[in-house]
Amino acid sequence: MNKKTWVLGEPLKIVKSVDDPYLQSASGTIGGHQLEVHHAPDPETPTEFRVFLDGKLVFELGMATPELAWYQLCQELGYRAEEHWDLDPALILFRQALPALTRGWHEQSLPFNDLGIPDGVICLATVRAGWEKEVQASAPTADDEAQALVTACLTALPLRAVVFHDDPDQRQDYLGTAVDDPLLGVFLQFGRSPDNPATLAKATLNASGGKKWSPWELGGAWEAKGKEFRATQEPADFLKAAGLRGPVPAGWPEAFAARLSGLVKLMDPVVEEYRCVVPVRIPWHRDALTRFLNHMIVSVQARGDRHLLVLDDGSELVVLEARPTEITQVAGQEDK
């Protein structure tokens, strides 16, 4: 496995691989878990392609995304959507883990399409393909200077990550019980380098009659306890993220805003479809602190030298068991 692209905190080790033309199989270990795949191609019946994690089915052909357990493993082993561009749990499975696990197969190839995923799967790759398609389709036939720069900017801006965010700051009654649902956010991150990202964002807002989705904004932040949502970036940030320099023609901001307004309307159902298939109880928070803030531990499970803390919102926190030498070192530093 290429260490530069493998984002999980534990390596994938192959334990067994069988390359039979009628039933291929392979198994391996990753972070104390067992990953197994079976492939039985048949020209007369639907192909059997199943993936198991710790003996339980997490994917088979026809499913839109892997089961919750695979998402939890990716989160446990360090995957963060906002940090690890061009990957999500589905792509880690289909483009990284399974090709590595089945590299000894030669009789039959994996039943994947041109996107490197099984047909019917909805993931970051399908959202990126939708963005690229809409950018090309929305390009005007006759460009003035401003429109030409908008086209160049959007064409040079790959969609790199989709980040779903639950804001844990909920209103509470006098007993500390939450009285409303957490605010939700969706962030689309673009750019040629993580050092200069550009972001489109929308979120649920507190409004009369309940929560409603905001329009897509450039960047985005909540204010007034979730009642207001403001843009934090400008069109110039998208030019910078696309690596474009030089003078900006008159009318560029207006042309960019108009073009983007049409694009996000086309992308809205694509992003919403993706959001709806992601398993519940996986809040990809934007920082580690808020991920577990104000939650109770309801269960503790031992996994080798680790402990898995299950919180009351269903999210999970993996804690490594501290070694005595590490505790001594920390104590010594404190004494100094």
Give, for all 336 residues of the chain, the pLDDT tens digit: 444 579 999 999 999 999 988 899 999 999 999 999 999 987 777 789 999 999 999 999 999 999 999 998 998 898 988 889 999 999 999 999 999 999 999 988 999 999 999 999 999 999 999 999 999 888 877 678 899 999 999 999 999 999 987 655 555 666 666 666 667 889 999 999 988 899 999 888 777 777 788 889 998 877 776 677 788 899 999 999 999 988 889 899 999 999 999 999 999 999 999 998 988 655 555 555 555 666 778 888 876 667 778 777 666 777 765 444 333 333 333 333
The pTM of the full predicted model, rounded to 2 decimals, is 0.80
Q: Burial level of 234, CB count in 10 A (0-12/13-18/19+)?
A: middle
Question: Nearest Cα to 288, choosing from 80, 109, 85?
Answer: 80
Distance CA(115)–CA(99), nearest Å, equals 14
Domain ranges of the chain: 12-120, 126-277, 295-335
CB neighbour list of residue 245: distance below 8 Å, 6 or more residues apart: 239
Distance CA(240)–CA(76), nearest Å, equals 34
Distance CA(314)–CA(300), nearest Å, equals 12
Which two structure tokens, joined as six digits, stand for 79? 């995957």
